[in-house]
Amino acid sequence: MPWTPRVVTGSAFSNGPSSSTIGHRRFPTVKVPLAQSTPLTSQSLAAGAEALAARDRHLASIYKLHGVPPMWGRRPGFPTLLRIVLEQQVSLISARAMFNRLKSDVEPFTAEGFIQFGETQLRSLGVTRQKAHYCVQVAQAFRNGDLKSISKLNDEEAHATLTRIKGIGPWTANIYLLMALRRPDVWPDGDIALATAVKKLHKLDHRPSFVDLARMAERWRPYRSVAARMLWQYYLAERANKG
């Protein structure tokens, strides 16, 4: 997948100041009601991309070249949240390898199976002490039904529910909301690929900070998830061109 997790230094749910400056450009912050739980569909993704292209010339350039971005969805549930935890602070290749190793060794590959397997055995497979603990914490949350109604919550409530689980920070929660629950207006704070895409797209000297990037994304409401997909699409295309 096209994102790279890093330490998060801002919140996509913070209103912040009234405007943000990136380079020499100012981007107003728009306050809107909390997004509700209607997931993106192929139709609303296309509509959102078209709407963003109509009001943002940089996103319009992506849309003109590449069209509607992929959905990049994941199935909601324990395996997906577990995998996102494994992707924290490491390359996607490493995370994928560890996820596949766990699928081969943990039987059944369920929340209950992970609890029974235990942290010690997870560490014997190469999972770090910290992430082994996080994996079991996530498993316990699913076993206890803590996330049973998450699809019915608005974005802020769902984000808070996720981050109450030890090991689930803002980036992990936002990626789950964006990818698994397909929320239309979530910004994945702390994503290096998005910052890199904006730097190149806006011809900036340096990557914008995550705080500035989140404030910039306010202008893309109520389609921040669509904007993120468009920027990931651009990032991957540029990286492929270099290869």
- Residue where a domain terminates, one of 180, 212, 233: 180
- Domain of residue 97, CATH code: 1.10.340.30
In a domain, 12, yes or no: no
In a domain, 96, yes or no: yes
pTM recorded for the entire structure? 0.83
> Which one has a higher pLDDT value, 29 or 220?
220
* 202-to-62, 195, 216 alpha-carbon distances in Å: 12, 11, 12
Structural domain count of the chain: 2
**Is 207 found in the same domain as 171?**
no
| 108-139 per-position pLDDT tens digit | 999 999 999 999 999 999 999 999 999 999 99
In a domain, 9, yes or no: no
> Which one has a higher pLDDT value, 32 or 140?
140
**Is 158 found in the same domain as 99?**
yes
**Mean pLDDT across 198-206:** 97
Q: Could you tell me the two tokens for 69?
A: 């971005």
* 36-to-1, 64, 104, 222 alpha-carbon distances in Å: 25, 29, 37, 10
- Residue 34 predicted with pLDDT over 90: no
- Residue 15 predicted with pLDDT over 90: no
**Is 223 found in the same domain as 164?**
no
- pLDDT band with cut points at 50, 70 and 90 for residue 243: low
In a domain, 128, yes or no: yes
**Cα torsion through 12, 17, 18, 22, rounded to 10:** -70
- Residue where a domain terminates, one of 180, 208, 232: 180
Least confident of 1-5, 99-103, 233-237: 1-5
**Is 51 found in the same domain as 35?**
yes
The residue assigned the tokens 């206890």 is: 144
- Residue where a domain terminates, one of 131, 147, 180: 180
**Is 144 found in the same domain as 116?**
yes
- Domain residues for 110? 78-180
**Is 209 found in the same domain as 171?**
no
In a domain, 3, yes or no: no
